[in-house]
Amino acid sequence: MKFGILVNEGPFTHQASDSAYQFAKAAIEKGHEVLRVFFYYDGVNNANKLSEPQSDDRNLVKLWGELGKEHNIDLVVCIAAALRRGIKQDVLADGFRISGLGQLIEVGIAADRTVVFGD
């Protein structure tokens, strides 16, 4: 099965990003494909390379980037939501790219299921 994932919450304020990451990992381990993860609203904070979680906390920015690279997952950050939150190309973490809502529509068409995490 091919999945698209929409993440609407940031990595430190809500469980949604962690749940989305765990879902993506589990889906891949079961032989499914994650075509794209689209970060929207506060979810764009998952792509901010300037975030520095405590050493004993998970680093979802790093984890998402590694998962994307390892499994060729397109990690797309909504440009409008990113700019509202001060995230531009120069603070984008490795493995992420900025694009528009068309990428969300496209994965919705290409995927068998699109799973939404966060409000």
Are 67 and 29 a contacting pair, CB within 8 Å? no
Catalytic residues, by residue number, are 78
3-state SS, residue 98: strand
How would you class 38 by CB atoms within 10 Å of its CB: exposed for 0-12, middle for 13-18, buried for 19 or more? buried
- Alpha helix (H) ranges present in the chain? 16-29, 60-71, 79-84, 102-110
Measured CA to CA, the distance from residue 62 to residue 32 in angstroms comes to 22
One-letter amino acid at 2 equals: K
